[in-house]
A and B are shown apart, each in its own frame.
Chain A
Amino acid sequence: MAERGFQISRLPGFATMAVAAFVLLYLPIVTLVIFSFNASNSVAVWGGFSLHWYGDAWANQAVKDATVRSLVIGVSASVLSTTLATLAALGTTRRRAYRGQTLIYVMINQPLMVPEVVTAVALMIFFGIIKVATGYQGLGYLIAAHTAFCIPFAYLPIRARLESMDLSLETAAADLYATPWQTFRRVTLPLLAPGIMAGAMLSFVISLDDVVITEFVKSGGQDTLPTYMLGQLRRAFTPEVNAISTMLLGVTVVLLTAFFLLTRKRD
């Protein structure tokens, strides 16, 4: 081992603290995952490996319904918000600054700034009025709400990608008599695709994870997986919730890894 000399950037205790922080960050999550495979009823005492909590969760009709609802809302919201965010990103990058551009930025990033519980209350009142006026009670409200708060998450990676692309290829295409649509379809879109994929994944993860806004906006019997879990906690705490958490966690980690691979800068 190399001699540990005077390292200029080393501050005493910092490395220990950092390693402790990582351990503390992961210990609870790892414990949760491990105990979802516990054979016994306890979430603290290990009773052998078993998949029966997953079986229980799978056999539970409420969990199945909530899973399907989460997926329907997540896919719809991520497709819609990514489409809208792509258009907005094309409208706000690679052109001369114009009047009102700051307003557009503020509007798009607004869901990141307003406390979730405030938006949730606002939507509950507003959609409540519409529900009474139209009689429509469906999933549309949840999809609209999720689409709105997913827009900034889809917008940021797409905009970052666009800003790193220069206009020379598009100009070349136009010089070769490509119509604007052909240029967009054959040049811009393929170049932009990784950004769009990244935006879609982030917004899907964000939609899948939402608790607060869904809890306030949902009508009766419209539980998603997170609101179902929140409701379960009011009653007895069972490792079934661990099993559901672990599955959600798995989806998040897979999508995030893909996101990082997509947005990684290649040298």
Chain B
Amino acid sequence: MSPAEEQALRASARNGWLLSLPALVVLALAASGPLLIVVYYSFLTANDTGGVIRQFSIEGWRSIFLSYDIFEDRYTLADAHLKIFWRSVWLSLTTTALTFVIGFPTAWFIATRPPSQRALWLFLITIPFWTNLLIRTFAINEVIRNEGILNTTLLWLGVISEPLRIVYTETAVLIGMTYVYLPLMVLPLYATIERFDMRLLEAAYDLYASRWTTLRRVILPIVKPGIIAGSILVFVPSLGAYVTPRILGGGKKMMIGNFIELQFLQGRNWPLGAALSVLLLIIVMAALLVYVRVANRDRSAGHG
């Protein structure tokens, strides 16, 4: 490379950085940077009236798992916290599974429409995707609440004699999350199914494979990257969900997001809230890393 070319390249890289800099500064100040403060706060001492005392302590982290028993002067497992964690993980996994069961046939259906119709069907999936999460949660709440459409209709039909009590239960949160996150599963699934070579099905049927065998042995392995992408896209926001469990779970069926809010806005225990936030962040980052590794491996293996 001639010195002139080298200089041009260096100038290009410098301009690249300079052009990106304003965006990076705003992101550092109002998105990434403050995350470090949360890590710092998780190692401080809680102030009983809210906020923190600037004194090192690991109590925030310890109290995630253990609670101090004054009477017996020892630590016991913090059952209430573990229950919230377990509920968050369980509900998020079930949501992921449910969105897959509903989303896979939907994505397959869209991908097998004539090309001219696909854009319209996709648009129909995208509208709810961009619609305010709060509005969608309101909407599903109106359907399932005690005096809602579902109960009114079932009562009118005589199927039930008393309204089903769904709201403020884990089922309600599950229905709500499945409803609001379904498009996140359908979109990546569609993207992989659309590239699926339908001649493979012909080959499978020619070799006397049943539809079930074909689905299990041919289709699912090939669309695996889409399944993983969709699962991560649903699992990650489910785990950090705040609005949906708050509205549909009431105060009782809390998830991690609501529990974090409780530590801050009600001024209970800031270091505990900070430690919970960092833990949530770590779990989400781990899930995303797994996704990136699987996606890269599949790409290098020549699938995607």
Q: Which residues of A contact B22 (CB under 8 A)?
A: 84, 87-88
A2 within 8 A of B: no
Q: Which residues of A contact B13 (CB under 8 A)?
A: 95-96, 98-99
B61-69, B71-79, B221-229, B258-266: which lies at the interface: B258-266
A230 within 8 A of B: yes
- In-complex Cβ contact of A27 among B130, B143, B236, B246 (8 A): B143
A173 within 8 A of B: no
Q: Which residues of B contact A27 (CB under 8 A)?
A: 143
* CB <8 Å contact, A18 and B108: yes
B290 within 8 A of A: no
Q: Which residues of B contact A177 (CB under 8 A)?
A: none
Q: Which residues of A contact B18 (CB under 8 A)?
A: 91
- In-complex Cβ contact of A148 among B27, B112, B126, B285 (8 A): B27
- In-complex Cβ contact of B135 among A87, A144, A248 (8 A): A248
Quick one: which of A193-233 are within 8 Å of B by CB?
A: 205, 208-209, 211-212, 216, 226, 229-230, 233
* CB <8 Å contact, A229 and B106: no
* CB <8 Å contact, A91 and B198: no
B273 within 8 A of A: yes
- In-complex Cβ contact of A25 among B27, B37, B128, B240 (8 A): B128
A75 within 8 A of B: no
- In-complex Cβ contact of B198 among A8, A96, A108, A256 (8 A): A8
Measured in the bound complex, the distance between the Cα atoms of B27 and A126 in whole Å is 13
Closest to B265 in A: A216
* CB <8 Å contact, B35 and A107: no
Q: Which residues of B contact A8 (CB under 8 A)?
A: 198, 201-202, 205
Q: Which residues of A contact B285 (CB under 8 A)?
A: 113
B160 within 8 A of A: no
Q: Which residues of A contact B131 (CB under 8 A)?
A: 29, 209, 249, 252
B24 within 8 A of A: yes
* CB <8 Å contact, A253 and B127: yes
B243 within 8 A of A: yes
CB-defined interface of A118-129 with B at 8 Å, one 1/0 digit per residue?
A: 110111111001
* CB <8 Å contact, B280 and A115: yes
Measured in the bound complex, the distance between the Cα atoms of B110 and A170 in whole Å is 39
- The verdict on A44 contacting B149 (CB below 8 Å), with A122-B34, A226-B132 known, is yes
- The verdict on A31 contacting B139 (CB below 8 Å), with A25-B128, A125-B37 known, is yes
* CB <8 Å contact, A144 and B106: no
Q: Which residues of A contact B264 (CB under 8 A)?
A: 121, 124, 216
A9-17, A52-60, A61-69: which lies at the interface: A9-17
- In-complex Cβ contact of A122 among B37, B124, B205 (8 A): B37
Measured in the bound complex, the distance between the Cα atoms of B112 and A119 in whole Å is 40
Closest to B109 in A: A18
* CB <8 Å contact, A229 and B138: yes
For B12, B127, B202, B260, the residue with the greatest tally of chain A CB atoms inside 10 Å of its CB is B127
Measured in the bound complex, the distance between the Cα atoms of B133 and A226 in whole Å is 10
A181 within 8 A of B: no
Closest to B22 in A: A84
* CB <8 Å contact, B134 and A87: no
* CB <8 Å contact, A115 and B240: yes
Quick one: which of B158-181 are within 8 Å of A by CB?
A: 179
* CB <8 Å contact, A21 and B236: no
* CB <8 Å contact, A21 and B132: no
Q: How far is the CB of A197 from chain B (nearest CB, A)?
A: 16
A37 within 8 A of B: no
CB-defined interface of B18-41 with A at 8 Å, one 1/0 digit per residue?
A: 111011101111111111011001
Quick one: which of B234-248 are within 8 Å of A by CB?
A: 236-237, 239-240, 242-243, 246-247
* CB <8 Å contact, A28 and B132: no
Quick one: which of A1-50 are within 8 Å of B by CB?
A: 8-15, 17-19, 21-22, 24-29, 31-32, 35, 42-45
Q: Which residues of A contact B34 (CB under 8 A)?
A: 119, 122-123, 125-126
- The verdict on A145 contacting B106 (CB below 8 Å), with A28-B139, A124-B264, A252-B130 known, is no
* CB <8 Å contact, B38 and A125: yes
Q: Which residues of A contact B230 (CB under 8 A)?
A: none
* CB <8 Å contact, A212 and B242: yes
In the complex, besides A84-B23, A148-B26, 4 extra interface pairs with C-beta distance below 8 angstroms are A110-B27, A121-B273, A230-B247, A242-B142
The 7 lowest CB-CB distance pairs between A and B, nearest first, are A115-B240, A91-B19, A18-B109, A98-B13, A28-B139, A122-B34, A148-B30
Binding site for A on B (CB under 8 A): 9, 12-13, 15-20, 22-24, 26-35, 37-38, 41, 102-103, 105-106, 108-110, 112, 123-128, 130-136, 138-140, 142-143, 147-149, 152, 179, 182-183, 198, 201-202, 205, 211, 215, 236-237, 239-240, 242-243, 246-247, 257, 260-261, 264-265, 270, 273-274, 277, 280-281, 284-285, 288
Instruction: Report 14 cross-chain contacts, Cβ distance below 8 Å, ordered by A residue.
Output: A18-B110, A28-B139, A84-B26, A91-B20, A114-B31, A114-B35, A117-B277, A118-B280, A125-B270, A211-B133, A211-B134, A216-B264, A230-B243, A245-B139
